[in-house]
A and B are shown apart, each in its own frame.
Chain A
């Protein structure tokens, strides 16, 4: 067990988690005004109409796949009489399809961002880092999924998943990850980089998923006093920013 392995798989995940939580809290406290999707639909609507939903809905399936693959232990699926073949075929087909959809959506969005002048001009510095990183994470993940197609392939449920779950018990199983194929390691490192950058980029909009809308009455009434109290607490935001 080298020092590098300990640093990467034993220390880094916790550092990233701290940065993610503290960074988001910091951003929410000091830059609530910056919590936005930074949508560029006003400049270009047609390509976004294809790429946006494709990418985001694909991403939901990808996220669900990660939950199933990383958090659900093999013993549980065994007890539910899900055979290995069925599990992996499902992971390959559904996971692969979701990954391809997400990548295709991102490709459309990237094309749009590079080719539509107004959108390219609206690209911020953090976008320039996050977009390539997102692409690399996706491609590495997709490559790992595809590599699982071979019959004698690496079973991530006995390596990567064990390491991932061990993180939550504060006993990181470093060897489990250290022996994983390079493509999985690459995917994990890139993903950690992405999560570390998360609070400082437009990705924060994921944390403002408006689920409360489903249970809220349509028309919102607010009293001036509430607005004033908020405005006072956030004085540094500037008086004109309260409401517009």
Chain B
């Protein structure tokens, strides 16, 4: 992070995520737990706030990366940022039918099975089956597509040909590439610094939270114009066809507010997700999204992030109302280490100009495997560095995903990962450390070891550094840290101090009427699991509690 820049006028904080693609085994646990938490309702049957797609592949919804078709994200028009789908007047003119809206067929027609037939079918020679039924209209249906239909390259070249990223690469590359590897890409909402879904919402229902940067839909303000669905280039805003409102990934904000990781992170089997605070300069972000060459977008976004170790930044952050524990969390942020310090994490499709905040560490393993199968020592640094350069094919694909086609940052990130492997291998085998390995990728041995720790060993509280919630001062509220009513023991303080857990406790159901069988018993919904409150167990016959 370049120091000595002009001091930022205003500092904003963002809770960001990094996913290490090397570790993703494509088990879809994140998708399933997310769905159980947020979208297991009528109207959202087809909605996956979190999905895992196999790359190369079409993704979900099909071919969502083809912005010529869907018109998501931003474009530069005479040097100014305009939603790609058109400015305000054009949006309003398209209010009555959104020409770019994906239909259910682009996602998939959700279905269930007629299980009842298994038990009610009349006696016959054949075993009864449970035929598929549409979850939208209940009619018999044929299952022709699903949210991860081309998982593990299922469907082969026929489906692969429709991958918008592959289409950008030439055909010869593609054939070779199909033999080379595949990898998994888990996706959630990017909670962008410059969200285009927010920009195209006519009602102003979508908003970016000042405190933590989470992008949310105000359900009471949404009027169902569905511009956000097409405005998001990642297609991560969905239309609930039952309520007629837009819904999207919430970054599990009730959990984040309580200092807990999102459900997808919490349940990730590979422990590949990292959560932490990034400080950034909103003024720079506006300029970064509008740089002329889309290949500069990655560097430009890196330039927006501020160094929480810099006393000037800390002062500006405090003046902007960011509490001390958030600045402290930004210093310990694993996300910041991976993005800004080691530069191994890259944004997904920066060319959409939304400045996404869920970043990815590109996968290295397939390259090692490919090298080993050709008779080389896959872990040998020289061979590995050379292979990263010569295996242009995956590099080109990764570059289309993460850096708008610029190979250099992807290559640099992969080389750092390869150097880390080589360095740790030597160290584990008790060989003489080779300082040249670290130097070759512009790092030192200590940071290589630290990076290894973060990527391989980091425990729960190292992967998720999330401060509990606060409220930004209202604009114009200049009294900061003065005589607050919410000081410890002050009248604005909750009895016993502010406990985020109790804030999210289930509602008190009120007193139980006397004479009821459960009178004097504890409501398990309100039990915090600690200790043994009176009334947990029924009374013994003798009147003594068990």
Contact = CB atoms under 8 A, between A and B. Distances in A.
A234 B218 CA distance: 12
23 contacts: A36-B245, A37-B225, A42-B239, A43-B136, A55-B96, A117-B139, A121-B136, A205-B224, A208-B203, A213-B202, A218-B199, A219-B194, A220-B204, A221-B208, A221-B209, A222-B207, A222-B208, A224-B209, A224-B210, A230-B218, A242-B218, A243-B217, A244-B248
A70 B137 CA distance: 44
Nearest to B223: A208
Contacts of A39: 224-226, 239, 244
A45 interface: yes
Interface stretch (B445-453, B458-466, B469-477): B469-477
Interface in B243-288: 243-245, 247-248, 250, 253, 257
A35 B198 contact: no
Interface string A224-244: 110110100010010001111
Closest 10 CB pairs of A and B: A210-B202, A218-B199, A36-B244, A243-B216, A36-B224, A52-B97, A52-B96, A38-B244, A222-B207, A37-B224
A223 B13 CA distance: 12
Nearest to A214: B88
Contact of A118 (B95, B137, B199, B209): B137
Interface residues of A, number: 50
A38 B223 CA distance: 8
B103 interface: yes
Contacts of B139: 117
Contact of B223 (A44, A210, A224): A210
B89 interface: yes
B97 A48 contact: yes
B209 A222 contact: yes
A240 to B, nearest CB: 9
A33 interface: yes
A57 interface: yes
Contact of B103 (A43, A205, A230): A43
Contacts of A49: 97, 99
Given A35-B223, A218-B83, A242-B218, 20 more contacts: A35-B220, A39-B226, A39-B239, A41-B97, A42-B226, A45-B97, A120-B137, A210-B202, A213-B201, A213-B203, A213-B204, A214-B89, A219-B199, A220-B206, A222-B208, A223-B472, A225-B471, A228-B471, A241-B219, A242-B220
A41 B138 CA distance: 18
Which residue among B104, B207, B247, B253 has the maximum number of chain A CB atoms within 10 Å of its CB?
B207
A208 B224 CA distance: 10
Contact of A121 (B97, B137, B199, B220): B137
